[in-house]
Amino acid sequence: GAVVSQHPSWVICKSGTSVKIECRSLDFQATTMFWYRQFPKQSLMLMATSNEGSKATYEQGVEKDKFLINHASLTLSTLTVTSAHPEDSSFYICSAREGYSYNSPLHFGNGTRLTVT
């Protein structure tokens, strides 16, 4: 089945530094990838839609200058949390759909737990 690989699994960084999270589709091409954020005991909140070769589309309330998304190829999207602060500590999960049909399920990476100290 379709596999989405996300790296790193966890990261601890100091306030003010930047962190890059990679999301790769291993055995399929993903024109579109989605980035979600999940706080403890909360639902997955869609942050942005990452489109290969074009600018990402951000959800309302998500700062595009703080959460930089780059979708350089059909198998790789990156999320960079710039100037991280403790309130950015969360579980970040990427996902991708295999194929173009809307009824294909999203496949999720294993997530990245970010802790900002």
**What residue ranges bind another protein (CB under 8 A)?**
6, 32, 34, 36, 42-46, 49, 91, 93, 95, 97, 102-103, 105-111, 113
Upstream peptide bond of 8 is cis (omega within 30 degrees of 0):
yes
Structural tokens at position 80: 């960079």
Main-chain phi, psi angles of 88, to 5 degrees: -85, -5
Residue 67 CB burial class (10 angstroms; 0-12, 13-18, ≥19)? buried
| CB closer to another protein, 6 vs 25 | 6
| CB closer to another protein, 14 vs 43 | 43
| CB closer to another protein, 13 vs 46 | 46
Min CB(25)–another protein separation in Å: 14
Min CB(83)–another protein separation in Å: 26
Buried-exposed string 92-111: b where 16+ CB fall within 10 A, e elsewhere: bbbbbbbeeeeeeeebbbeb
At a CB cut-off of 8 Å and minimum separation 6, what does 101 contact? none
Min CB(15)–another protein separation in Å: 23
Min CB(76)–another protein separation in Å: 18
| CB closer to another protein, 58 vs 81 | 58
